[in-house]
Each structure stands twice: as C-alpha cells, then as structure tokens.
Amino acid sequence: MADQILAWLEARLRLLVFCSLTVVAYVAAVSRNQIMPWVIAALMLAGVVVGVIWPRLLVRSLSVTRLAPDRAEEGETIRLEITVANHGFLPRFMIELVDRLPFIEATHGEFVSREHTIGVISYVPGGATRQIAIPVTCAKRGFYRLGPMDIASGFPLGLVRARQCRESVTRTLTVYPDIFPILELPLQGAPSQIHRGGYLLPEGVGAAEFSGLREYRRGDSPRHIHWPSSARHNELMVKEYEPLASACLCIALDMSADGNLGGGKESTFEYSIRIAGSIARHGCERKLRTRMLGEGKVRLDIPAGSGQTQYQSILDTLAVIEADGDLPYARMIHRIAPQAVAGETVVVFLNTAGNRFAETLQALGMLRARRVHLLSILFDARSFGGSGKITSDQEGALLALGVRCIHVRRGDSLLRTFNP
C-alpha cells in the first residue's frame, strides 16, 4: 500500500508542486491591490488546466500497428516497425510509444517484464501517419508475449502523463538460444541398429568396420548374411560391424534447480542449452538420429529423429525449458539407462563434486554397461560461483570409464572450445 502511495505521489509530483505555486500566487494577489499578481495567478491556473486536459486530448483519435518478427535468436537485434495513425483533424505532438518487452534487460541476473518507452514521435499531422523503426536486442531465450502497446503524452508542460492502450493485439516472439557451429564431435556409433538395418550410416561422416560373426537373429538385415560361413555351419551367420561414425545421439540435460550454478545467461544451465542446441544441429544436419531427455517440472522427452524438422522441434523446446526440476541428475541418468540403445552416444552435463559425483559416476557406469558411448561436458563449478570442483582423480575415473570429456569455464568461447 505504501509503495502504491509513493508511486502515485511520484507520478503527480510536478502537478502538485505547480498547483501549490498557483495557490501561493492567488494568496499573494489577494493580499495586494495590484493587477500583475492577478495576471501571474491566472496564467498559472491556465497552465494547470492546459497541462491536465491537453495530454488527454493528444492521445485520442490515434491508433498504432506494429510489425515484428515472430522468431529471433538470443543476442540478435530485431527491428520493430511501428506505424501511428492520427484519425483526427488536429495535429498531435510528442507521442510516446510504451511497450512491454520482457527480454531486453536484466536485473541482478534475473530477466523481468517491464514497460519501456521505446520511441517518441514528435509530430503527427491531422489525418496522417508516421512510421518509426526501433532496433531491439533480444537478450534472453524464451517465449514472450509482446504488447499491447500504449500511447502516452505529457505535452506541453509535463504536469501529467496521459496514457491509453491503442493496440489490442498481443503478439508473440520466440527467442531461440544462441547456437554456434560445430565442425566435428567425438561421436561413436550404434552397431546393433546398423546391423539390423534400422538405418544406414550417414554419407560422408564415416564407415563401419567388420568385427566378427554371430548367429542370425530375427530382425537382422539379410544384406549382412555371410553365406560361406552359413553353408559351413549349416545355419545362417551374419556379419557384425562396429561403426566408426555416430548413428544415434542422445542429449541428457540436467534440469534440476540444485544443479544450476550461476545466474542469468552466465549459468551452467544456459551454457547447457546453447551446447545442447548446437550438438543437436550438428547431429540433425548429418542425418544422425537425435533425441533429448530431461527431468524438470515438465518431463522432457523428444523421440529420436533427424533432419530439419527434428532440429526445429528441439530448438522450440530449448527456447522455453527451465532448470526447475527437483530430481538429482544422477537419478535422472538412472532412469534413462534402461532406454539406452547399445552403441549410441549419450551427451551428459556434469558440474558436481564430492558425494554427488560418486552417485553420478555410478549412473554413468550403468550406461556404459549397456554399451553406450559417453561424451561429457565438464563445467568448472568454481568459475560459475559453485563451491566444489571435479578433481583430477575424479576426471581420471571418468576417463577410465571411457567417458570423453570437454571442459567448459564461465566466459569461454563455446565456438573455440568445440572447434579447437
């Protein structure tokens, strides 16, 4: 209540001061038998009347339309094309455009929705239109509702600020994470899927090498039958292959609130989002079957797919998800282990140390037991404001498990980290 009273007084401070001075002028005029004090008092009273009424007249008979893209990328500067039309016959002066743009500023690392005066049109003739192009930087990924836009004016004295909503349409804007190109990743393949003919290795990204023979099983591709051995053993024998290129990719995000270190864009979760999106693009563009998993307030489970449609689905999801889950990352990995496809590459994001690291290492061991290849993004927790750090011995345990590690510190150029 006190804040509302203070806000009301602040918005009308000039008017209150001007009214007080007008009262003083009239008191002075009454006490003196002279014409000049009365003239001054009358002019001040006229100023009060004009300062209160005129701004309200200025914002009438106006309409506003806005053209803006419905998609953008984090850090991209977009242009808002705004048109103000004056449907009256009198000109309008000093028209302010007030919009709600929740993505253009941050306070203490947190992005908040605020109203912004994004532009001022000094003069709109009667029956005419004026256009203005306003550049706006999209500071943070997310799905936003823009508007409705208001028109305001305090002309000519600024005693009060009249304001009216003149755009009834609420538009949406999706800001995608800042994706960077990845030229090459240390990915390995899914021999069971390739052997069964579920899909072929993508052209130009590698090949498969012969690793042995075994008995034919239902679902195996007839192209892999080794006829000489089948004739010798009097039963169908098929060739097994170990692919040198990745044929299946799984990205497992840590969406737990406790696992997110740092704040705003400089947090481990925001880094994970940018890395996950970039890896997904790398996979989808190369026709690798890519899926994404996570445990937040809403479970993230994007089935495997490839191509532009799959990448767009992943990108739409990454634009809006948050680190709001309460399930520890190690337990999430335990849950996804039974779904793992033998031979696929699972990308994990680690920043834990101490007791939690031991639990995470055990979960990763379950994935390795299912013949899963692991690529770990190791965050330097201290650089993100955390208290712990993965030691050399713990990293050695990861390497002994066969986990490939990529180190990321706060402030690192992800483009250079993934393209050394």
What digits encode the pLDDT tens for the residues 178-206? 999 998 887 665 444 444 444 444 333 33
pLDDT-based confidence at 311, cuts 50/70/90? very high
Helix (H) / strand (E) containing 230: helix 227-233
Q: How far is CA 25 from CA 46, 47, 137, 160, in A?
A: 13, 13, 49, 21
pLDDT, position 195 = 43
pLDDT, position 321 = 93
- What pTM did the predictor assign? 0.74
Place of tokens 């003739």: 125
R_g of the chain computed on alpha carbons: 32
Percent of the residues in the chain that have a pLDDT greater than 90, as a whole number: 22
Residue whose C-alpha is closest to residue 296's, from 253, 338, 249: 253
Pair 240, 212: CB distance under 8 Å: yes
Q: How far is CA 219 from CA 23, 225, 246, 358, in A?
A: 95, 12, 21, 39
pLDDT, position 106 = 41
Which of 18-22, 165-169, 405-409 has the highest average model confidence (pLDDT)? Answer: 405-409
pLDDT, position 50 = 82
Pair 249, 345: CB distance under 8 Å: yes
pLDDT at 392 exceeding the cut of 50: yes
pLDDT, position 253 = 95
- CA angle (312 as vertex; 142, 288 as ends), nearest 5: 130
pLDDT, position 354 = 52
Pair 136, 80: CB distance under 8 Å: yes
What digits encode the pLDDT tens for the residues 96-120? 888 877 766 543 344 445 677 888 8
Pair 144, 276: CB distance under 8 Å: no
What digits encode the pLDDT tens for the residues 346-368? 999 998 655 578 888 888 999 88
pLDDT-based confidence at 41, cuts 50/70/90? confident
Residue whose C-alpha is closest to residue 245's, from 205, 285, 279: 205
Residue whose C-alpha is closest to residue 390's, from 352, 341, 355, 340: 352
Cβ neighbours of residue 16 closer than 8 Å, sequence gap 6 or more: 9
| DSSP calls for 95-150 | EEEEEE-TTS-EETTEE---EEEEEEEEEE-TT-EEEEEEEEE--S-EEEEE---E
pLDDT at 338 exceeding the cut of 90: no
